[in-house]
Chains A and B, each alone.
Chain A
Amino acid sequence: MRSIWAVARNTIRQALRMKIAAAFIVLLIILIPVMGLGITGDGTIKGKLQSFVTYSLALVSLLLSLLTIIVAAYSLADDIKQRRIYMVLTKPISRFELLAGKLLGVILLDLMLLVPLSAIIYGITIYIPVHNNATAQQMQTLDNEFFTARASIKPPEPDVTAEVRQLYEKLKAEKQLPEGVSYVDIINNLTQLKKLEKQAAGPGSEIRWQFDNIRITDPNQSLFIRYKYDVSVNPLDLNIQSGWMVGDLRQLPIIPEGRGSIYIFERRDLIRTFHELEVPANAVASDGHLEVAFLNLPTNNTVVIFPPGEGLELLYKAEGYTANFVKAVMMIFLRLVFLACIGIFAASFLSFPVAILLCLAVLCIATISGFILESFGYLSREIGTIYRFTVGLIIQMIPRFDQYNPSTYLVPARLISWPFLAKLVGLMICLQSFVIFLLSLLVFKFKEIARITV
């Protein structure tokens, strides 16, 4: 253990004294406050906050990712290249301890930089409303919509298997099934069609969503319905007029006393943009039931579709902003730990420049992994399968940075729950980082250290 600590200390010293870290720190210290004061967003204070949090966290995350890769790969690769490792490995230190020490050093360095930098970002977000002389009402809005952590409930996916089967049988009887398409493909297509149907409303018709088990802690708080429209035909002014009814609609048409209030809204919203509808918490019935009904007013003259997955969700306050911000920073930290493992792994068998190249490739793939996986769907079946079992498998070993981006949680003030974070730790640290570290240990254990390869 002592030798691990000795190596870790030495690695931190190396990064600090060789001024690798200095360039990054100076850049961040200058950029973050400038960004905080100069950023405008969409003009509102909330917009400023959202843009600032997005860009500053992305910047810190990116620069620290690069720093992590460079320090981790340099520390090991240069020790081997400069042969300093001869004088280290001949001491009573196992190769595992050496790698673990390097890894620990890089991780501690990351912590040393990440903690103060995120504290600065946090401080600036708190200061931005003050700096912009926010009124009490604006502060109220910000507290509800930015300085909070809201849990999200999505409506359960409708079960359409019976309807799909029915439709399939009907098409088969009418001999309208397309030729040369497999059964699975037809069923998949029909399922998608039916699901979309459930989320679409023609002019004058309505959609209802039901939510259960909503736990309201504070009766004075608000609920938020976050939604986005897609349309079949663009309306002239790109706006959709709608009527909303939110509450315990089971009681309709008669309203008995004490079953919670029903709220009715009339809205006019831009299409393909997220909007939020604030609803007082007493709309939720005492058993946690809530219904939301959307009416597509006939004047719209178009079909309104709520895109599956992100079309509509219910948000309610579950935690404070500070705790959520800390968890967002922890997400960045997990990413850095993984990158440190990749850096060590690359340096265990590659020279410094090549190792850096490999690490950057991994970073890029991790950042656009969603896009890559999605693109397989557009390939032909055979080619797609080949990719899925080669590139796809590699991507499985790499965390999906695009999916676990802290900004996607902080900007809509969405709660990062502990179970979710625990899942991330399990996946990124206990599984992916561990496997990579094990691989580097395996490579390094049998490496002929003094072998000079030209």
Chain B
Amino acid sequence: MTQNNEYAVETFSLTKVFSDLWGRTKVYAVNDLNLRVHHNEVFGLLGPNGSGKTTTIKVLLGLLHPTKGKTLVLGGDATDPKISARIGFLPEESYLYKYLTARETLDFYGRLFSLPRQVRKARIEALLEMVGLKAVANRQVGTFSKGMARRIGLAQALINDPDLLILDEPTTGLDPIGTRQIKDLILELAKRGKTVLLCSHLLADVEDICDRISILYGGRIQAEGQVRQLLQQTNKTQITSQTLSSRTIENIRKLIEAEHADFEVTSPMEKLETFFIRTVTEAQAGAVPTSGAVSTTMIGDFLAAEAAQKSILDKLVTADVSDKPGPAVETQKPAEVETSAVEPDKGLLDKLASEPELSQPVKTTEPAETKQADTRKVRDDVLEQLTGSQDKTEKQDQSDTDRGEQPDA
């Protein structure tokens, strides 16, 4: 993992024009784009359909040639085998060889990375376990549902233990639990020193996991910055607590009215995602049979030096959420703050993860802190559900699964 370059991904006035047969310009898919993704951050590329996200990624990976400008991926050209060996890529859809089984598919991609036999075998099993397709590993992927194909797509992107993960709409077609898993996985990978470039128009997903985002429209960057900073409402304050007596509320009202501010009291709504996950987890515990993918909370051991004994969600409990590499407040030169804060060494990263108190101070302002706490509360909720049933599910093995691909059934 050499990081003699300042950025994991960098584009220099990248322009991609699609022209017709006669060379006449038809559309500027990407227009003078200067994108900078720091090492070890989760970067979100947002934008409506047709805003140039996928085109940008294809140019980065050498699948399209830029009309103008230049790109650097991990300090070089992504078509160079030395560079591409360190990249994991999941395209906007999983384009799979339908006649291969899930295991053979991963084996094929493993071979393309020239992974030694032992390593390949071990990783394939770990990844199948992780994406919950172990039970259907010998089924041809042509028979898979869209979500299951997506899971295989994700597994193949991770088979080389990449330093840079490029995900194009990773959560399309996935059920909420799968979505959740991918989001948790991305956070975990970021914690282990990987860089993630994420492309999406599902704002909720991006909001949960990205450190920094760029919003594209018409092939140009319209806004860029840290998620927390972009979303903060510095003119509001939010307090969350257990249910209070009406007397306490009355006291608070008096205090606030003294500051001449408006305020309202409600019981917080549970997120639908949290509710859904809890319902399915209960069904899992009740051993309802399914032919679909199984939800697991595993992560492939090989993805980091540290053996992942505990589930990823367990880790999130022990590691403070704010511990995830939070880059500094957007300044003129954010990169310097970033790179000095983030040390690429995996061992050290894991150490940081287990000793959250020693990690870098959270450089955020007050309201963002509240939001963080809120997020964490939701996570704890999920954790209780999932980790609580974890022991049971392991015993019952494959029988208790969920019909994950059809969430809106």
Nearest to A18 among chain B residues (CB) is B99
Given contacts A10-B97, A86-B95, A91-B113, contact A448 B64 (CB under 8 A): yes
Pair A87/B111 contact, Cβ less than 8 Å? no
A94 within 8 Å of B (CB atoms):
yes
By a CB distance below 8 angstroms, the chain A residues around B85 are 91-92
A375 at the interface (CB under 8 A from B): no
Q: Find chain B residues with CB under 8 A from A83 CB.
A: 91, 93, 95
Cβ-neighbour of A90 out of B63, B97, B108, B111 (below 8 A): B63
Q: Say how far B85's CB is from chain A's closest CB, in angstroms.
A: 4
Q: Is the CB of B61 within 8 A of A92?
A: no
A13 contacts B99, C-beta separation under 8 Å? yes
Closest B residue to A16 by beta carbon equals: B99
Contact B81–A93 (Cβ < 8 Å): yes
C-alpha gap A255/B114 in the complex (Å): 78
By a beta-carbon cutoff of 8 Å, the part of chain A in contact with chain B is 2-3, 5-7, 9-10, 13-14, 17-18, 82-94, 448-451
Contacts of A18 in B (CB 8 A): 99
Q: Chain A residue with minimal CB distance to B115? A: A2
- How many cross-chain pairs have Cβ atoms below 8 Å apart between A and B? 81
User: Nearest residue in A to B91 (C-beta to C-beta)?
Assistant: A86
Determine if A14 and B97 form an interchain contact, defined as CB atoms under 8 angstroms apart: yes
Kindly state the separation between the CA atoms of A450 and B112 in the bound complex, as whole angstroms: 20
B106-126 residues with Cβ-Cβ distance < 8 A to A are 108-109, 111-114
Dominant SS among interface residues on chain A? helix
With A6-B112, A91-B113 given, name 8 new contacts (CB 8 A). Answer: A5-B111, A83-B91, A83-B93, A84-B96, A90-B78, A91-B109, A92-B114, A93-B112
Chain A residues lying within 8 Å of B334, measured Cβ to Cβ, are: none
**Complex-state Cα separation, A451 to B58, whole angstroms:** 10
| B84 at interface, CB cutoff 8 A | yes
**Docked-complex contact B95 and A89, CB < 8 angstroms:** no
**Residues B99 and A87 in contact, CB atoms below 8 Å apart:** no
Question: Is B87 an interface position by the 8 A CB rule?
Answer: yes
Say what secondary structure dominates the interface of chain B.
loop
Residue of A nearest to B59 (CB): A450
Q: Residues of B within 8 Å of A, CB-based: how many?
A: 32
Q: How far is the CB of A48 from chain B (nearest CB, A)?
A: 42
B100 at interface, CB cutoff 8 A: yes
A86 to B87, CA, bound (A): 13
- Chain A residues whose CB sits within 8 angstroms of the CB of B351 once the complex forms: none
Chain A residues contacting B113 (CB-CB under 8 Å) are 91-92
Question: What is the distance, in angstroms, from A366's C-beta to the closest C-beta of chain B?
Answer: 31
- Complex: A13 Cα to B81 Cα, angstroms: 25
- Output the least CB separation between B59 and chain A (Å): 9
Assembled-state Cα–Cα distance A448/B104 (Å): 28
**B89 contacts A by Cβ under 8 Å:** yes
User: 15 A–B contact pairs at CB < 8 A?
Assistant: A3-B111, A3-B112, A17-B99, A85-B95, A86-B89, A86-B91, A87-B91, A90-B89, A91-B85, A91-B109, A91-B113, A91-B160, A92-B112, A92-B113, A450-B63
In the complex, are the beta carbons of B95 and A91 less than 8 A apart?
A: no
Interface residues in B71-108 (C-beta closer than 8 Å to A):
78-79, 81-82, 84-85, 87, 89, 91, 93-97, 99-100, 104, 108
Contact of A87 among B64, B78, B109 (CB under 8 A): B109
The CA of A450 and the CA of B30, in the complex, are separated in Å by 15
How would residues 127 to 164 of chain B score, 1 for a CB under 8 Å from any chain A CB and 0 otherwise?
00000000000000000000000000100100010000
